[in-house]
Amino acid sequence: SVNSMGATPLIHASKNGRDELVSLLLLYGANIEAVTNMGSSSLLKACQNGQVSTARILIEKGANPYARNRDGNSPIQIAIRKGYEELVLLMNNPPIERLHSMS
């Protein structure tokens, strides 16, 4: 289900850094690429709020760090703009699990 802004439970959990809930929602089939009415993904919301461990989970499960919202911003651009260096490094160096799934 979504709220009036189009945010799913996964987007809410990601924005708030609720790692266990994020993992559980993904385990039960939550759409990792679902977006709000403004086109913001779970990964973008995690990056807006500096949620490094949440972003790591989302990236390991295949979230796209280059998907843009309606304003043309991607998660990696948001992280750069906000000065979240650890998030930028994470998105530029995806975890090993993700690299294996991409080949």
Determine the pLDDT at residue 41: 96
Q: What CATH number did the domain enclosing 67 receive? A: 1.25.40.20
Could you tell me how far CA 47 lies from the centroid of its own chain? 7
Q: pTM to 2 decimals?
A: 0.86
Which of the four pLDDT bands, split at 50, 70 and 90, describes residue 99?
Answer: very low
Residue 6 vs residue 60, higher pLDDT = 60
Determine the pLDDT at residue 37: 94
In a domain, 2, yes or no: no
Mean pLDDT of 63-84: 94
Q: Could you tell me which residues are beta bridge partners of residue 41?
A: 35
Q: Which domain range does residue 62 map to?
A: 9-102
- Nearest partner of 78 among 86, 63, 88, 90, judged by Cα: 88
In a domain, 4, yes or no: no
Determine the pLDDT at residue 100: 47
